[in-house]
């Protein structure tokens, strides 16, 4: 198969072009596409194994990064909330 | 007085000063987390959020009531710039120090070690983070780790949202390309 024929075959899968969809996968996973565009990407990801696996990679990467968020210590938050309350009550003079 | 209150007209939709604590309370965890990303140590991060709260309270009358988190993050960015100016006053008027000026205009960027130490990620994630440039690492930290939207990260960094998007997508693309060769990533994935 010639490179051109291979590219044409890839582009026909799922009714949309893999290259075009590939540019939108991250925005799609971040919820940044309008409903019509999101539906088009979703349809392609179900039909095209290659693009579906790419999306799975990004999902796993995003999930792993989100899981690295450290727990927030309580004390600094309590001090900051107290400062906000003092400001609201007019107890803290502004410089 | 804050920069914001000096430059904007008073808004009729601004929150009441007496409810300031209720207004900012839900945003404090995110502010402290982002400050930690900008400052590298917890003491400076808390100081920066304190400074941000005082500036926000001073400028409350000019806030239009929309996108409070982005508004607070913009104030935090300005406060962070001023803190760096105070720490390096001798360089402020040196027109030849373009690199220094650029450094002051942008928050300090974390190293991969800073991110790893703060968040103790899995080894394969730490390795992939370590291969990113500081600018790419910064947007990954703010969006994918700290949980900001593109617009909020743009406010925190003082750059267009489109730049956040392009940096973030490129960073993830590079991480994925690296992780494709990582057996730990592959073994749990396919």
- The helix/strand count (H/E) of chain B reads as 12, 0
Which pTM does this prediction carry?
0.73
Answer yes or no: are the C-beta atoms of A26 and B105 closer than 8 Å: no
User: Which residues of chain A make contact with B154, given a CB cutoff of 8 A?
Assistant: none
All residues of chain B having their beta carbon less than 8 Å from the beta carbon of residue A60 are 185, 188-189
Closest CA of chain B from A10, distance in Å: 20
CB B164, CB B157: distance < 8 Å: yes
CATH class of this structure's domain B3-103: mainly alpha
Query: What's the rounded Cα separation, in Å, for the pair B187 and A91?
Result: 57
Rounded-to-integer distance, Cα B5 and Cα B161, Å: 24
Check residue B11 and give its pLDDT. Answer: 64
**Cα dihedral value B145, B147, B152, B156, nearest 10:** -40
Q: In a structure prediction context, what are the per-residue pLDDT tens digits for chain B, which is 190 residues long?
A: 444 444 445 566 667 777 888 889 999 999 999 998 888 788 899 999 999 999 999 988 888 888 889 999 999 999 999 887 776 554 434 433 444 444 444 545 555 555 555 556 678 888 899 999 999 999 999 999 988 999 999 999 999 999 999 999 999 999 999 888 777 776 655 5
CB–CB contact B54 A95 (8 Å): yes
C-alpha B142/C-alpha B123 separation (Å) is 20
Handedness of CA B21, B25, B28, B30 (dihedral sign): negative
Q: What is the CATH number of domain B109-187?
A: 1.10.10.10
Q: What's the gap in Å between the CA of A30 and the closest CA on chain B?
A: 9
Domain with CATH 1.10.10.10 in chain B: 109-187
Return d(Cα B31, Cα B9) in angstroms, integer: 25
Q: What is the pLDDT of residue A43?
A: 93
Residue limits of CATH 1.10.1740.10 in chain B: 3-103
Which chain B residues are Cβ-neighbours of A94 within 8 angstroms? 1, 54, 57-58
Contact A58 B122 (CB under 8 A): no
* Tens of pLDDT, residues A58-89: 999 999 999 887 777 889 999 999 999 999 88
Hey, is the C-beta of A76 within 8 angstroms of any chain B C-beta?
yes
d(CA B172, CA B121): 16
């Amino acid at each position: 198969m010639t490179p051109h024929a291979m590219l044409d075959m890839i582009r026909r899968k799922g009714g949309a072009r893999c290259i075009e969809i590939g540019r939108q996968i991250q925005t799609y996973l971040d919820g940044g596409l309008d409903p019509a565009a999101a539906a088009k990407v979703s349809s392609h990801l179900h039909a095209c194994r290659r693009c579906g696996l790419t999306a799975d990679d990004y999902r796993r990467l995003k999930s792993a990064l989100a899981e690295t968020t450290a727990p927030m210590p309580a004390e600094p938050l309590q001090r900051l909330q107290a400062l906000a309350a003092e400001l609201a009550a007019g107890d803290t003079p502004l410089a | 007085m804050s920069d914001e209150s000096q430059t904007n007209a008073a808004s009729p939709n601004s929150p009441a000063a007496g409810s300031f604590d209720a207004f900012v309370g839900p945003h404090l965890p995110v502010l402290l987390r982002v400050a930690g990303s900008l400052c590298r140590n917890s003491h400076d991060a808390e100081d920066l959020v304190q400074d941000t709260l005082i500036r926000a309270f001073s400028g409350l009358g000019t806030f239009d009531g929309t996108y409070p988190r982005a508004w607070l993050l913009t104030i935090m960015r300005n406060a962070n710039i001023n803190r760096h100016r105070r720490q390096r006053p001798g360089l402020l008027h040196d027109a030849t120090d373009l690199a220094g000026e650029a450094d002051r205009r942008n928050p300090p960027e974390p190293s991969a070690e800073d991110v790893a130490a703060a968040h103790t990620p899995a080894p394969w994630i730490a390795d992939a983070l370590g291969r990113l440039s500081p600018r790419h690492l910064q947007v990954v930290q703010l969006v994918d780790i700290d949980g900001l939207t593109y617009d909020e990260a743009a406010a925190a960094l003082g750059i267009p949202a489109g730049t956040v998007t392009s940096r973030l997508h490129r960073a993830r693309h590079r991480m994925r390309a690296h992780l494709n060769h990582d057996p730990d990533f592959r073994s749990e994935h396919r």
